[in-house]
Amino acid sequence: MRVNKTKSILKSGGTVHGCFITYPEPSLAEFVAMQGWDFLVFDGEHGTLQPRDIENLTRAAELRDVTPIARVTANQPHLILRYLDTGVQGLHVPWVNTPEGVEAAVRAMKYGPRGNRGLAGVRAADWALSGSIGEYTVDANRETLVVIHIETAQAAEAVDEYLEIDGVDVLFIGPTDLSHSLGHPGQIDHPDVVTSMDRIAAAVAPSDVALGIYAGTEERAIQWSEKGARYLCTGSDGFLKQGMVAYLDHVRGV
């Protein structure tokens, strides 16, 4: 099983940068991977990606030695199992609103004795051709990155309890959903939203768990890095829009 380079960097205290991919096109994923990202997140929540798509996108990321990660549709064991079996090296688990939900997500992502993930000779295990299934379970528990979303007011209030749960690698702020939950949809700079995010950052940044966040611009990524975030994500769509608009404005003399 491959070493999870992104997890290794985080565990050594470093910072990693990743990009969300929503399109089921391996060539695009490979092209994006070649730009220097530490990891790619294949989005099965806000997109059409199915496990089959993510398996092929994972192959593209592996080809360029970039960590493949997926965002599952929901915190449900049977979905988590199918996404992990594709060979991704970690999962974003959205809408985790209680400590019990965090524990359930960790258990679904880990093999025994920590968890109850179903075991089979699938692609993630190299179809049991590269070593024993027993050895694979140990490697998978060590290398799989567990990213838990904090994107509701309820989750934000429970952050201290989340930090007590063994097996969580990243607590990830979703600013847009959090703003919606706080009654200010889309207003991620609203004082109530900023206060909530800053409280999360203050709790997570000094801990052994990495603070993660979606930062759609360079300025936000730098801002949150200064607040202690070490797992920083953006989206490919923003780059497409920025580059295309700038090009058309320039050639049209706008």
User: Which residues carry out catalysis?
Assistant: 46
What is the Cα Rg of the chain in Å? 18
Grade residue 157 by pLDDT with cuts at 50, 70 and 90.
very high
Rounded to whole angstroms, the Cα distance separating 15 from 172 reads 14
Rounded to whole angstroms, the Cα distance separating 35 from 51 reads 24
- Give percent of the chain with pLDDT exceeding 90: 93
Grade residue 254 by pLDDT with cuts at 50, 70 and 90.
confident
Query: Mind listing the pLDDT tens digit for each residue in 176-227?
Result: 999 999 999 999 999 999 999 999 999 999 999 999 999 999 999 999 999 9
pLDDT for res 130 = 87
Tokens of residue 69, six digits: 């990660």
pLDDT for res 1 = 79
- The answer to whether the bond into 26 is cis (omega within 30° of 0) is no
Virtual torsion, Cα 223, 229, 231, 237, nearest 10 deg: -30
pTM for the predicted model, two decimal places: 0.95
State the average pLDDT over residues 90-112: 97
State the average pLDDT over residues 78-94: 97
Helices (H), 110-231: 133-143, 153-157, 159-162, 175-181, 191-204, 218-226
Phi, psi torsion values for 175, nearest 5 degrees: -60, -40
Answer yes or no: CATH 3.30.70.1450 is held by domain 5-251: no
Query: Mind listing the pLDDT tens digit for each residue in 215-243?
Result: 999 999 999 999 999 999 999 988 989 99
pLDDT for res 167 = 97
Q: Mean pLDDT across the chain, nearest whole number?
A: 96
